[in-house]
Amino acid sequence: MAEARRPLIAGNWKMNGLPDDAGALAKAVAAGAGGVADKAELAVCPPFPLLGLVGEAVSGAGVALGAQDCHAAENGAHTGDVSPALLAAMGCRYVILGHSERRTDHRESDGEVRAKVEGAHAAGLSTIVCIGETEEERDEGRTLTVVYSQLSTSLPGGVDAANTVIAYEPVWAIGTGRTPTNEQVQEVHAAIRSALAERFGQETADGIRILYGGSMKPANAAELVALADVDGGLIGGASLKAEDFLAIAGSCP
């Protein structure tokens, strides 16, 4: 039931920010969080080295902390990687997994994403699992096939509303200023929820939040978050301005 799903507005800062500006952004988000608390849950996902600083800046403000990736393993010889347990210890509640930029830049497969989701769940993190079609796949009419396949292979068993959020992000809409029509967004979100219901049961599917991501900004947020199966947004560019990020949260129904 839609009423049971509290919208989540998560900021994916990507590879942006140095300590000074990231600290200022986090403080500004924290300062405005109370004003939108009745509309949405907020989360900010800075680059790894800024987690401590940003976590401190938002602490007590009702803004959750998230990371942008993690390794599947608990610890070990994995140079340059970060374990889910460390993220949890740093105060993270969320970790974004399978973002299209990681699927492209680091050739992450659905199978690897699934292993990371399992590792993150084992550490008590809630995962924001990203899926979405390329422009070519949409043009070929394969959007739903692609999304179903990513969903079924990227998600392990044991998924529930507490440990998993899905982010539908059409690759061609990320950072481009282009967005699908509201009808296209709702069609994919409803299809995702049906697929979740088939695998995890209707009650679980009804509780899982499905975010839209890709060029979401204050000007288009209200109509997107008003769609029946859209439960918030994963925000890239617009999350780097506290005012815009908070305005998006404020537009949740």
Does residue 72 touch ligand PGA according to CB under 6 A?
no
Please identify, among the stretches 60-68, 85-93, 117-125, 232-240, the one whose residues bind ligand PGA according to the rule CB under 6 A. Answer: 232-240
Burial 141-180 (b: 16+ CB within 10 A, else e): eebeebbbebbeebbbeebebeebbbbbbbbbbbeeeebb
- Dist CA 246 CA 149 (whole Å): 34
CA–CA dist 98, 114 (Å, integer)? 9
Residue showing the smallest CB distance to ligand PGA in the complex? 236
How far is residue 173's CA from residue 224's CA, in Å, rounded to a whole number? Answer: 14
Q: CA 221: distance to chain centroid? A: 15
Q: Does residue 170 interact with ligand PGA by CB under 6 A?
A: no
Alpha helix segments (H runs only) across the chain:
19-36, 51-58, 84-89, 100-105, 110-122, 135-139, 143-154, 182-200, 202-207, 218-225, 242-250
Q: Any contact of residue 12 with ligand PGA (CB under 6 A)?
A: yes
Q: Which of 36, 171, 235, 246 binds ligand PGA (CB under 6 A)?
A: 235
Least Cβ distance, residue 182 to ligand PGA (angstroms): 17
Closest C-alpha among 192, 200, 232 to residue 64: 232
Can residue 127 be called a binding residue for ligand PGA (CB under 6 A)? no
Tell me if 216 contacts ligand PGA by CB under 6 A. yes
Residue 7 lies near ligand PGA (rule: CB under 6 A): no
Task: Give 55 or 132: the residue with its C-beta nearer to ligand PGA.
Answer: 132
Q: Is 231 in the site for ligand PGA (CB under 6 A)?
A: no
133 part of the interface to ligand PGA, by CB under 6 A: no
Q: Report in angstroms how near the CB of residue 213 gets to ligand PGA at its nearest.
A: 4
Q: What are phi and psi of 120, to 5 degrees?
A: -65, -40
* Residue 108 is among the residues annotated as catalytic for this protein: no
- The residue annotated as part of the active site, out of 101, 112, 137, 169, is 169
- Interaction residues for ligand PGA, span 195-214 (CB under 6 A): 213-214
Residue 230 as a binder of ligand PGA (CB under 6 A): the answer is no
Please report whether residue 169 would count as binding ligand PGA according to CB under 6 A.
Answer: yes
**Two tokens, residue 154:** 């990227």
Q: What are phi and psi of 128, to 5 degrees?
A: -110, 100
Tokens (6 digits) for 14: 């990507």
Q: Is 169 a catalytic residue?
A: yes
At 105, list the tokens: 């830049």
Q: 85 or 188: whose CB is closer to ligand PGA?
A: 188
98 in contact with ligand PGA (CB under 6 A): no
Residue in 71, 99, 121, 189 annotated catalytic: 99
CA-CA distance, 235 to 220, in Å (whole number)? 12
Residues that bind ligand PGA (CB under 6 A): 12, 169, 174-175, 213-216, 234-238
Give the active site residues. Answer: 99, 169
